[in-house]
Structure 1
């Protein structure tokens, strides 16, 4: 059963450390799966590691953790060629698409090359829950800040634009993220948007932010607007803590 409305949970988290695997799904990703509303069967979760070049170790970790979660896992790889014959049919029959972090610039280029930009819009409108971390958060928005081009953060302004807002990730853990995000909104490079500390996600229904959710204590979420004097105005949002 698809979600009741087009749904995106964009995060700076969703994974946690594990003694048995490099990482396992965290509360934010589990919540994204719950939002799909599947009952009586295993949720169908498709994983994309495009942003790390379809690294086999990352994909294998997903399968190991997904089985433990009771999900029906699949993955879409694009290197060296798509591993699925009918990508559109596959994605439209998933409950959740989970996008891993890495290079958002590389991810967007590969997705557009393979027509995934249009397929994801169709899947989103059909009720497939879209979620992801870092690059897998920025990609759904109009743009954000990225280290895709080198260690110095730069703007990225060609996100898929399912959400018309900008997106700031790792707002508390990478010192350059906050000032650059604010500056880019202040000068009009990016539209107003929302930012997340590590361990926080933004839940959107259609294009409206419904709530901010956290899997870490003290982590925050913020709205950043362009003020009338051309400066950035940051407002802390209420955050609901996931148990």
Structure 2
């Protein structure tokens, strides 16, 4: 059952330590599933951990999190080869695609080798809700800030660009994220951007920003625009889930 229109919930959260499992999905992920509008059956959720090289321990932990949440779970694996015959067809059969954090630069390169960039666009256009954390947030945008290349943050500007904005993640948790995002918007490296504190998310319908939401009181989203040679940052009204 697809969402009414193309939907992305880009987050810096949605996953937490579990009580009896390594991970549990938290309110942001549950909201993404709610956006899919599934009734009468378990929601189909596919996890994608390309950004961590399809680490088998992570894949197992995400499957456990999905089981605890009551979702019908699958994963899309690309290392050492795709684990399904037709990745594009597999994505189209989902209600929600949830993308794990890690190296967004590696994720984008590997997705393009396997034409997953086109497959993700097709799923999004068909109403499959796209969501994820960190790299799984930046990837849907034009780009953002990343530690994919080493400890020093650098820009990434070759995102899938389903959304015509930049994206800043971990905005309140990593000191270097905010000033670099502001510089990148100010000098035109990144376009108008939306950013999220840890435990906050950004909802888009089509390419239109709809709202900022959070699973922790005090976490919020931000809007960055270029004015002259500066970036102007505006905190967004953020709804607590």
Question: TM-score per shorter chain, which class?
Answer: over 0.9
> Aligned partners of 1:160, 1:202: CA distance in 2, in Å?
17
Q: List per-residue Cα deviations over 1:59-94 (Å, max 9, x = no partner).
A: 101111211211110000000000000111111010
In structure 2, list runs of 5 or more residues that go unmatched.
Answer: none
Matches within 5 A, 1:66-215: 66-215=66-215
Counterpart position of 1:241: 240
Where 2:164 maps in the other structure, the secondary structure is coil
Taking the aligned partners of 2:37 and 2:209, their CA distance within structure 1 comes to 19
What SS does structure 1 have at the residue aligned with 2:112? helix
- TM-score under structure 2 length normalisation: 0.99
Query: SS at the partner of 2:57?
Result: helix
Q: Residue deviations 1:118-163, cap 9 Å, x none?
A: 1111100000000000000000000000000000000000000000
Question: For the residues of structure 2 that align with 1:179 and 1:168, how far apart are their CA atoms?
Answer: 10
In 2, Cα distance between equivalents of 1:172 and 1:67: 31
Deviations 1:21-43 (A, max 9, x none): 22210100010011111110111
Q: Secondary structure at the match of 2:137?
A: helix
> Per the alignment, in what secondary structure is the counterpart of residue 120 of structure 1?
helix
SS in 1 for 2:188: coil
Q: Is the 8 A contact 2:23 2:64 kept in 1?
A: no
Confirm or deny: 8 A CA contact 2:24 2:69 kept in the other structure.
no
* Distance (whole Å) between structure 2 residues aligned to residue 18 and residue 64 of structure 1: 10
Runs of 4+ in 1 over 2 A off after TM superposition: none
User: TM-score, normalization: structure 1?
Assistant: 0.98
Give the aligned partner of residue 57 of structure 1.
Answer: 57
